[in-house]
Structure formats: structure tokens, C-alpha cells
Structure 1
Amino acid sequence: MSSSFAQRLLRWFDRHGRKDLPWQHPRDAYRVWLSEVMLQQTQVSTVIGYFERFVGALPTLRDLASADEDTVLALWSGLGYYRRARFLHRAAQICVERHNGEMPRDYEALAALPGIGRSTAGAILAQAYGMRFPILDGNVKRVLTRYHGIHGQPGQSAVEKQLWRHADAHTPAERVADYTQAIMDLGATICVRSRPACEACPLQNDCVACRDNLTAQLPSRKPAKVIPTRSTVMLILRDAQRRVLLERRGPVGVWPGLWSLPEATDSDNAWSIAQKFARIEDAQALASFVHVFSHYRLDIEPLLFEDAVAHRGVADNPLQRWCSANELTTLGLPAPVRELLLKIDEVI
């Protein structure tokens, strides 16, 4: 069955697969690794622009390893899940320190790097080096779950073990890089979550979900959770030179280590917090907006303080800085903060 599965998939890939993605030319280990990490939780259409900017600024693994964290986070800003960027940065440094500046070809050494799990390691080895290793990202899980008619949530241990067995059994000995791309492409373009295009699928004749009309039920989904809502007031202190005050966030919590705006729990204490940083005279409430995280919604109320006069202590604090518009582009900022600062002059 496995050779038939792979052969049909590869024939489909030769005609319909994606062959012009930027990380495929060249398809080296650094570019494959970067794309795999970026594609976690993010669609290809979104990743392409970020990938091209990232490799334009940091074209090699050694360039990434030697870059400062602010540069890495600035390039990542907007992709979210910023721990991925820090893992990339640290893993690149380890590769320079221990692996002569290259991604290791040994599975155990590769999987030991920060942020590289079993599927990412397999994708790097298969696509960059042509080695026979299976992968199991979200798209592949969906294809295999439907093809084999596997019930139960894919994240459950027993289900995941079953999926890995199938992933390994179907992976061919030849054209591994193309096969790996093919099964990801099938899940991303044909075997999609809602209304899969089964009539265009090369595997439809043996697919249990297609045969039994189960594509809407498989993969099994987790029960939906009602996510809570939190609120914050973001303080935009801008001085006479139109520089904005930023604070570096702590190592834990949301947006760890990124530069952001000072915050207050509500508008009542916003003034007292703002006065700790600068002498202020007036404030203007800007339009509120919502930013949605995976586990909660954040209601953001921006409060703008123009012509703020900085207290001396801010200049002496490495966790606070006044930044010009040009400097903002060099820092790792949360996406909603960057968007808010770019649009201030359009809305006031």
C-alpha cells in the first residue's frame, strides 16, 4: 500500500505541486529549517513575505547566529509565537559553537536543538539532504487521519503514535524531498479542513473518510473553549521630537522580551503611570481595538500623551527608550503595537 500511496502522491505533485516557493530555491538546510518554523501556526501566503525579508537580512545560519536579538525579533515581528524566533536564534548559535556553522545531518543532534521537534527534524533531513525521514505536521496529520479513517484527536498520544506509524510506512526510499513537499501540499490545497476537494485528490479511491462521507468529522476536533477577555490601556508618550517611549517586556508572560508601550490596568491609573516616565499635560483617547491570542482576547485602549517631557531616569534605564519612527523598524515589537504606532497620525 505504501508504495502505491507514495507513487500516486508523487504523480499528483509532478503536475500540481508547489515548486516555486522561495525556500525551495535553493532548498538548503537553513532555508528549509527557517520555513518549517515560520509555517508552524501560519499559512504559506503569510510566511512568504516574512521569509524573504528574513533571509534578505540574514542569508546564512552564521548571519542569524551573530545577529542581536532585537534584529531577529524585528524581522519576526507580526508572525507571533515569538519563542520560535528565540529558539531559531539560539539553535543557530549552537550550530556555530558545536557543528561548524551547519545544520547537523544526524537526527539526534538535530532534534536536540531548541525548537526542533521530530517532524521539523524529519522535514530538514528529508528536504535538504534527501534522507528518508517521515514528517507529521498539521497538514500531514489531516491527510493520514482521513485516508486511514482514524478517530480521536490527533494530539492524543495513542492517535499520534498511530499517525507516526502510517507516516513512516508511506514515506518512500526515493524522491523523499518531493514526497515530503507533496503530502504537505495535498493537505494545504486539497485535503483542507472544510470542504476538501476530494474529487481532485489522487488518494480518493482508498480514502476511508471519502468513502464513508466522514471528511467533516475527521480529524476529530477538540471541544471548543470560550476564551476569556482581558483589557489594558496602552500609553503612547510622544515627545516634542515625535519620539515614542517604549519599554522592554519581561522574560515571562505575553510578548516576552519585546519592546512595547507602557500599560495601565485602566484609564484611572494611566495618568499616574505616565507621570513616572515624563511630565505630561494632556491626553487623547484613541479608538479601542481587540487583539486575539490563542487563549484570550485583549481589549486595547490606546491613550496618547503628546509633547511629553522625559524624566532623566528614563535615559539611564536600559529597559526604556525613546524611539524615532526609523528606530521602530529595527526593534522587535508586538504586531498590534507596531500597527498602532504606524497609524497614530492617520487617526488623530
Structure 2
Amino acid sequence: MSRVLIVGAGLTGSLCACLLRRNMDNKVHIVVWDKARGSGGRMCTSRPPDSQCQSADIGAQYITATHEYAQSHHSLYTELVSAGVLRPLDCVVEGLRHQEGSQNYVAPLGMSSVVKHFLCESGADLFLEHHVTGLYRRGASWEVHRKHGASERFDSVILTMPVPQILQLQGDLPQLLSVQQREQLEAVMYSSRFALALFFPPGVDIKVPWAVRYYNNQGDNSECICYATVEHRKRGTEGHAPLGPTLVVHSSAPFGLQHLEEEKEEVEPVVLREVYRLLPNLPQPISIKCHKWRYSQVLTSVADCPGHMTVLERPLLVCSGDAFSHSNFDGCVESAVSVLAAFKAGSQLAT
């Protein structure tokens, strides 16, 4: 069996693993590495500090399917809804610029459950805290080095992490990239942002009339915060176990850019002051978590590389992810589908 390494346990990585398993079941042994302590990537769900508190989606908040994507990716949406991983977003949303014909979906168990579903379906061997540092070509295979631990060899490698992290890899990758490919990758731009999760004890009522609010669309004159949500209302789990509520806020893209080089510990009090300016009656939380998304949504994607970039066909090395499409669920699906096609083509070449 061909030994395949997928670097990144986010949405693209989990979809690549799942599609490879479903289309090449008896031909591949799939391994997934991620440098984080949990899967999900930018669809991660943060555990609460206390089991009595609601968890927090500190990355992606919900999924919007346009009419076209709802049709072209119908089977995946149907699968996730049937499995209870997704349900229609049914709550009070203020300031959302709704796209006609689109449907919003939320994950009742948190957005990371979407990634975990596809990883489970893939049957892949998942290894967390495996930070890849370099790729070295060894004949018909790749020797993959990581920050801590021994290197391992794989027949194919699929990279799904943000493009700047791909460009930082050591080994043979820099020499294998053509001048055009390097220029394409270096032109990719991301927005940056900070996410703040405020955890409250059971019995606390966050007295706001909404479940989700977009401040930048409401004329609230906040240069810092663009989005806020009360997790259990957004997910539609208000009638479940009486967990303490969690409020999540996201900073605006200009604010993230302005504070790009600052540590999250320095920025947290700035964001928190703005939260209480906007919501002066908000109770005091029992815990706060601040997360810095250095690479949030893709602003400028890789030109002329729809879905992926093949760096080498034999042994196969592919770069993929939302930077090769667009930053949402369907963009990651498109990237994973294109990787599958490249993998199939590479397998045919090998035979």
C-alpha cells in the first residue's frame, strides 16, 4: 500500500483523507500529522476551563452554502446533516448581509466536529503535536522531518497548512519550486485577527437580544470588534444541559493587521475593554481565552492554481488548502477534490 502523509488536520486535510479513503481504499495507508494539540485547524473548538461551561468556536463560526455549492456539494452537506454534525442556523442574527439563495449551517457540537467527522470516516492514523520542519527526497519517497522525534518516510505528501508555513519548510522543497511557483505562493495574502472567548458559570444570563451580531455592519463605530456570538444560542443548544454560557468575539481585519506583531497577552486587555464598552452590562467571566490567528481568511489566493499545486509528480508532493481556492467550507472541498484528481493521475503514472 502507498503510504500517504497529509500535513494538517484542518478541514482540507480531513477532507483529503476522507476522499482518498473512499476512492482508493485498498491502495493507500493514510497518516495525518498536525503540530497542534487538537484537530480542527481554523475550524477548532476550544475546550472550556470548566466542564460546566460551553465550549467555544474560536475560528470558523458557521458554514454558508450558496445555491450553487449546495447543489454541487450536495452529498457532503446531506451526509453532515444526516449525521447530526450540521443543522440549519436558526437564531437571531443582527447585521448579516444575507446572500439570496444561500443556506447557513451550524455545528451543535462545535465546528471541530466537522473535521473530526471526516477524519473518523477516513480511518487515517492521526498524530498530533507533530510539527513538520523539512521534506527531503529519497529516491521514490519523501523523508519528512519534524521538530521533535524521528523522521519518517512516505510515498506521497500532501501539504494543507497556510502557504507562509509551506515556504518555511527546509529540505528539497525550496529547490523544487519553479520561479513561477514561488512567485505565486509568495503573492498569497491572509487577514489576521484575534478571537476572545469569555466563559461564564451556569445560571448567568448574557442579556442581549441576539445570538450573533456583526458590529461592523451595525454602525456601532467599533474599530476593534467585528463579530460576537453567544455560543449556545448560535448552536441551538439552549434546551440542553445547563452549561454556563460562552461569549466569543472576533477582532476586525484592520485591528488584526494593526496589532499583527504583538503578543496575544498584550492585545487581550484592549479587546476586553472594547467588549465591555459595547456590552456594559456583561457579567464578569470566570475565565478568558485569547487566540491570535496569524493566518485567518485568505485575501489573495494562489493565481492560476485552482485547488492545488503539484510540486513534484513522482514521488508526489502537493500543496493545497483554501489559499488555492477560497476561505470557506466549499473552498476546502474544491481543494480536496482537486488533490484527489492529482493523486489518481499520479497513481496512473506510477503504474
TM-score past 0.5 threshold: no
TM-score of the superposed pair, with normalisation by structure 2: 0.26
Bigger share in strand: 2
Work out which of the two has the higher radius of gyration on C-alpha atoms and give 1 or 2: 1
- Which is richer in helix? 1
| Relative contact order, higher structure (CA 8 A, sep 6+) | 2
Q: Could you state the TM-score of these two structures normalised by the residue count of structure 1?
A: 0.26
